[in-house]
Amino acid sequence: MPGAPRLAAIATAVPPYRLDQPEIERLAERVFDRKTSEIQRLLPVYANAGIETRYSCVPVEWFFMPHGWRERNALYVDRALDLVCTAVRRCLACAGCRPEEIDGLVVVSTTGIATPSLDALLIDRLPLRPEVARLPIFGLGCAGGVLGLAPAAAMAREGRTVLFVVVELCALTFRRTDSSKSNIIASALFGDGAAAVLIRSDCDGPVLGASGSYTWPDSLDIMGWAVEDDGLGVLFSRDIPNLIRRDIRTVTDRFLRGCQLTRDLIRHYICHPGGAKVVAALEDALELGDGGLDDARVVLRRYGNMSAVTVLFVLERHLHRGLEGRALMLALGPGFTVGFQILET
């Protein structure tokens, strides 16, 4: 019988164009119309975001030009495949695994569309065996880096060697004609990145244990995409930190009780850093104290919010340092939903 699914290796990748936050703040004054937007009032969000650098799949000049759906999505498919292949090859090299050994492939992404899906395109690009089991997942947003692990682990429980891949190119969703507060704040937060995780049962890595989620009733307008003629328009509520402070402790405790656990039995919290205020709200609500989520802050500072990818960058930091004891992965995304994943060492 196959053993429990374990994390055998993880690797990450970012695209070549580095964005320094002070530069982006200056550029924002030029990109956004001062008469039709609140850019002057909102300029402090760039300095207060807790971000120093981010990475983009397109150069800065791209943000000053108009772009339609067709161009954006063609760039998404091309750049996402390049970035994913870099992360996957690093991951396989770390594990000493060959592409032809992969039996299952789960790909999470919400910043573009592809039919055939990215997983199908990766079969030829890597290359993988034609028999590989495939599962593309769209629409989970920032929660996808946690919620996507459960179906990947389910594949691995059958004795398969599984690749879990996440890629988000948030830069391609920027629309210069959108003067909304949400779009301005998004331009101060989001970056691009990819991560690959190898999951198998015949290794010594952390065990992928119980998983779960909770979706708040009547919360569909808190976070998501608005499909516009020229691309995807970002939607998120300013009330997210308050919602976290009010509810996340109760929701987390409920999940842990279902696993016969309590928060005092969790040694590590591996959380998606949606923003500086979100990290602080999670520390407060989960009673972690100041600095309890420092790894999340470091990732946010160096890479920004890469949507679903970000929590895997945080996981990589924990694993490289040596993850000992039980960990809880947590990420919030559209729905409005929180995803949970227990790791056991």
Radius of gyration, CA atoms only, the chain? 19
Q: Are 107 and 67 in contact (CB under 8 A)?
A: no
Mark whether 142 is an active-site residue. Answer: yes
Distances (CA, A) of 123 to 57, 85, 163, 270: 22, 11, 12, 31
Provide the 3-class DSSP secondary structure of residue 304. coil
Q: Distance from CA of residue 210 to its chain's centroid? A: 20
Q: Compute the distance between CA of residue 120 and CA of residue 265 in angstroms, rounded to an integer.
A: 40
Q: Could you tell me which of 119, 97, 226, 248 has the C-alpha nearest to residue 173?
A: 226
What is the token pair recorded at 150?
A: 């459960």
Q: Could you tell me which of 224, 223, 230 has the C-alpha nearest to residue 177?
A: 230
Which is catalytic among the residues 57, 91, 97, 142?
142
Give the active site residues.
Answer: 142
